[in-house]
Amino acid sequence: MFPGLGGATLPTGASAAADQSSAPAEDGTTIMDLSMKLDKTACYARNENAAYPWTNLFIGDSRLGMQSDADEQLIIHLSFQEFVKVKSIKFTEWNRGANPDMNPVTVHIHVNRNNLGFEDVEDVDPAQSIKLTTADLQESSGAIDLYFVKFQRVKSLTFFIEDNAGGDVTAIGGLKIMGTTVATTNMNDFKKQG
């Protein structure tokens, strides 16, 4: 148990599944990288270095990645175009591990919480908190499984990076969010009766 985390324990280590990009979910749907489902106009970051913005997390080049600006803390808010089920996440180290002291360590994940800022993020209990190790952040390691029951109907995720491995700023090389879309009814498909 860790103080200040509402009794939540912090899982460490990557999941056994090294590549979940084509693994079937329990309901038969295919688990995919959900970055293509992001509503980029509704996404934002707090305390990001303008030269290394959050959008760099999804381009596949860890040399660019994302960095914090004034200190080690970061807030990354990602909004999806539709509801999704999130199974796992994968953070990768910045610049292929050239600066391990800049690696994020404690990450709190909030579900469907819009407009969280540094003034209130510590007062809200996260859906899950994780502790990342250097091994977790290597590109060859697997994704970290989330408490799937808490991530069944996700419209947005907010990541609060509380600390890092000792650097002045935090840097992240990339981020993958693995899961499935949620089947919903499109009301526009129905014809007006009468």
Q: What is the domain-level CATH number for residue 158? A: 2.60.120.470
- Residue 9 is assigned to a structural domain of this protein: no
- Residue 87 is assigned to a structural domain of this protein: yes
Indicate the average pLDDT of the chain: 87
Q: Does residue 160 carry a pLDDT above 50?
A: yes
- pLDDT at position 22: 54
Beta bridge partners of 158: 77, 110
Using DSSP's 3-state secondary structure scheme, residue 187 falls into helix
Quote the strand ranges of the chain, DSSP E: 32-33, 44-46, 66-67, 74-93, 106-111, 128-131, 144-145, 154-161, 171-181
Q: Which pLDDT band, with edges at 50, 70 and 90, does 87 fall under?
A: very high
Q: Rounded mean pLDDT of 31-48?
A: 97
Q: Rounded mean pLDDT of 49-60?
A: 97
- pLDDT at position 29: 75
- pLDDT at position 12: 47
Euclidean distance between CA atoms 181 and 5, whole angstroms: 29
Domain range for 128 is 32-181
Q: Does residue 21 carry a pLDDT above 80?
A: no
Q: Say which residue the tokens 């996700």 belong to.
A: 154
Q: Say which residue the tokens 């596949």 belong to.
A: 60
- Residue 186 is assigned to a structural domain of this protein: no
Q: Rounded mean pLDDT of 95-119?
A: 96
Buried b / exposed e across 179-189, counting CB within 10 Å, b at 16+?
bbbeeeeeeee
Q: Which pLDDT band, with edges at 50, 70 and 90, does 193 fall under?
A: low
Domain count, the chain: 1
pTM of the complete model: 0.83
Q: Does residue 56 carry a pLDDT above 90?
A: yes
- pLDDT at position 18: 40
- pLDDT at position 185: 63
Q: Rounded mean pLDDT of 165-191?
A: 86
- pLDDT at position 183: 80
- Residue 48 is assigned to a structural domain of this protein: yes
Contacts with 126 (C-beta within 8 Å, 6 or more apart), sequence order:
5, 8, 108, 109, 110, 160
Euclidean distance between CA atoms 61 and 45, whole angstroms: 19
Q: Does residue 51 carry a pLDDT above 80?
A: yes
- Residue 132 is assigned to a structural domain of this protein: yes
- Residue 81 is assigned to a structural domain of this protein: yes
Contacts with 40 (C-beta within 8 Å, 6 or more apart), sequence order:
55
Determine which of 11-25, 53-67, 90-104, 107-121 has the lowest per-residue pLDDT on average: 11-25
Q: Does residue 153 carry a pLDDT above 90?
A: yes
Q: Rounded mean pLDDT of 145-158?
A: 97
- Residue 93 is assigned to a structural domain of this protein: yes
Q: Say which residue the tokens 């688990």 belong to.
A: 31
- Residue 117 is assigned to a structural domain of this protein: yes
